[in-house]
Amino acid sequence: MGIETEYGISLQGSPAANPMILANQLINAYLEKFVPINDHARWDYDQESPLRDARGFDLARKLADPSLLTNEDFGLANAILRNGARLYVDHAHPEYSAPETITPFDAVKWERAGDLIVSTASDLVYERTGERILLYKNNTDGKGASYGCHENYLVSRSTPFAHLVRYLTPFFVSRQIICGAGRVGIGQNSEIPGFQLSQRSDFFEAEVGLETTMKRPIINTRDEPHADPQKFRRLHVIIGDSNMSEVSSYLKLGTTAIILSMIEDGFFTEDLALKSPVSALRAISHDASLKMRVLLRDGRSVTGLEIQRRYFELATDYVAQRCSDHEPTVLLMSLWGQTLTQLETDPTTAIASVEWVAKQYLLSSYRDRNQSPWADPKLALIDLQWAELRSDNNLFARLVERGLAANLHGAESLSEATQLPPSQTRAWFRGECVSRLPAHLVSASWDSVVLDLPDSTDLIRIKMSDPYLGGREQTEVALSGSLSDLPMTLADIFEVT
């Protein structure tokens, strides 16, 4: 699993500054300092297929919105980092795509490393130019634009996509009650004063589809596995919020991974299909009391909390039968259950684990002191400052300092994750090629690395079609040996052509 984060960006004192130019400047500043890639190294688009739909067809390129054409090289900053991540300009945003990990705990660690990386880049630009590029880990500018936080999960190809749609849709619609980041303003343009659970819910308009920026669907159908397509699919989840809270992010990733395992194993027998998923998504988000009821297709009326509670009960049975001795999963289940109980009894007690609750606490404190209505523009400013990445200006960080919220990873661990890749997936080999073989790295992507070795007349492509192959234990010996022996030693692990 792994997360892609698009950051809001602006230039302090110059709100009209071109965000694409700012993003390019930001990323290049980081690359020049920390990534020893030679001038001809590039991102490898050859294996990408962003218009392939999981429903069994390819969207014609001439019919696709330009935002879907993610396999075109526009000449902007685009690189693989030492930690195996990708950092690039995505339209008008800097985007950090975290390396592949196999646990939600690690996924949060390498996602948060991205926050540190782009913050460092902002500091580098400031040192050189005196201009401060501001970065926000949120999902909307409050004026109608939304940018994403996309989760990615490796799923068995043998699992019918229809099953994913059937069982994930109610889960995603209700999941915002435990991992929503909270938002001031209701409606895509924040035209209605108020507070809601999720940054993203108002921007979804379809149940299933390929789009990511227009007519956003609850279930995205992009079929681009970045792995062996006969064995794997990549579930591309675009409905989640960016989280400042590591605990909320951990719950988001961990609970989804458990539900996916249940679907793969054919464990579900109960259908919680919603009558109108898009309407339910917004209705649940707009009600911070958690009492809003929505209709299931079978006529039952339920709250988002009741949907989540039922998924939790089913997951509890699954874990008891399949992995009761796996301590990390047991701990995750305990946190999920505890969080639901807190939300059912007194949501304010969930301040340490649910981000929207923590944000609402801060906003309510301000409103009580100043007798402010939700239309007060200072509340929108607080919402924005909550997500600003500068540590001295970030309001979530202040709650952590006061002991009202907590993080899972310390500063030293996150700093290490900016330079070292996860050791148990192919991200290790990719990242170590950046660190150890910069002069020979021609291009790279998620599932391949192309090298120009001195004793070879042709370029060598190393295909990494299995994300579980390529960790430190498997590749350290090959990377530590001679360059002339590298293709032969890697051939025991990867397909080398």
Q: Which active-site residues does the annotation give?
A: 90
What does the alpha-carbon distance between residue 221 and residue 208 come to, in Å, rounded to a whole number? 7
What does the alpha-carbon distance between residue 325 and residue 100 come to, in Å, rounded to a whole number? 25
What does the alpha-carbon distance between residue 450 and residue 433 come to, in Å, rounded to a whole number? 10
Closest listed residue to residue 386, CA positions, set 102, 137, 14, 31: 137
What does the alpha-carbon distance between residue 187 and residue 282 come to, in Å, rounded to a whole number? 9
What does the alpha-carbon distance between residue 164 and residue 259 come to, in Å, rounded to a whole number? 10
On whether the CB atoms of residues 402 and 394 are closer than 8 A, the answer is no
The per-residue b/e assignment along 373-412, b for 16 or more CB within 10 angstroms, e otherwise, is: eeebeebbebbbbbbbbeeeebbbbbbbeeeebebebeee
Residues in the chain, overall count: 497
Extended beta strands in 62-143, E state: 78-80, 86-90, 93-97, 133-136
Closest listed residue to residue 449, CA positions, set 107, 84, 2, 100: 84
On whether the CB atoms of residues 209 and 217 are closer than 8 A, the answer is yes
What does the alpha-carbon distance between residue 156 and residue 234 come to, in Å, rounded to a whole number? 9
| Helix (H) or strand (E) run with residue 152 in it | strand 149-156
Three-class SS state of 413: helix
CA 28 to chain centre: 22
On whether the CB atoms of residues 188 and 204 are closer than 8 A, the answer is no
Alpha helices by DSSP H, listed for 323-376, are: 327-345, 355-370
What does the alpha-carbon distance between residue 277 and residue 174 come to, in Å, rounded to a whole number? 10
What does the alpha-carbon distance between residue 173 and residue 166 come to, in Å, rounded to a whole number? 12
Closest listed residue to residue 442, CA positions, set 47, 88, 42, 80: 42
The per-residue b/e assignment along 205-243, b for 16 or more CB within 10 angstroms, e otherwise, is: ebbbbbbbbeebbbbbbbbbbbbeeeebbbbbbbbbbbb
What does the alpha-carbon distance between residue 134 and residue 52 come to, in Å, rounded to a whole number? 35
**Left (φ > 0), alpha (ψ -120 to 50) or beta: where does 194 sit?**
left
The per-residue b/e assignment along 171-193, b for 16 or more CB within 10 angstroms, e otherwise, is: bbbbbbbbbbbbbbbbeeebeee
